Structure 1
Amino acid sequence: MRNTARWAATLGLTATAVCGTLTGSALAAPTAAHPASLYAPSALVLTVGHGNSAAASAPERAVTLSCAPGASGTHPAAPTACAELRSTGGDFAALTTPGDVMCTKEYSPVTVTAEGVWQGKRVSYEHTFSNACVKNASVSSVFAF
């Protein structure tokens, strides 16, 4: 048992010495930290709920949306939502502008939120629509889930 431990330690030290010289003094000087990815992170949690604010009501639906390096997440139209966000530079206010659709004036507020990171910057967005029709008339598919 002792011989096995000695051989394992010897082989480990030998491998470290050989690999260290192959990588060019990797043990002598620490290298600068390299980013794990070439893309700034873009990962969001989007929610929809009924109420005047997100604090006043629990979300009824929530999805995830990640846009870097590719579109993914539980959002049903992730590639389209990421393209729309990129086109506005991550400006959610530009995405929640109502389109040219007629809706009733019934007041049944629907609140949408976006929390997370967009291109490396912290994002926190909340918008309340007067009703679901107005929300669905929005020109964007980001909150269409």
Structure 2
Amino acid sequence: MPHTYTGKVMWSHLDANMHMRHSAYADFAAQARIEALEELGLDLKTFQRLHIGPILFKEETTYLREVGINEEITIHTELTASRKDGSRWALRHELFKADGVKAAVIKVEGAWIDVLKRKLAALPEELAQHFMELPRSADFVELEG
């Protein structure tokens, strides 16, 4: 079962056409990721202490339906690919309107960065194990490396 995040579209999320602006989809997906990680013990304070954080290489959004002001949205987050150690990964966020209609799919590919060295890093083994507890999609693929 995917991780679930629920939020409400606010005035600041709208564009000139009075529907949710493209970058707000990315913001909601980012919040869903942060909450999913936090529930696994990978919170921002832990990342700050270790000088490690998530970094995205790719973000792709497919828009399916308009989303408007005051709509409640639900985002399902699943791990779609990962190396065994969790050092490289891909997630899929599916955004649903309150009536259950899928409004968007946001796919991201990423890794971890040492924020002091500005180089890619791996999570400590215990945290990597927690990360690998993210719900996996039915089409999950293990990455080489």
Normalising to structure 2: TM-score of the pair?
Answer: 0.22
Normalising to structure 1: TM-score of the pair?
Answer: 0.22
Q: Which has the higher contact order (CA 8 A, sep 6+)?
A: 2
More strand by percentage: 2
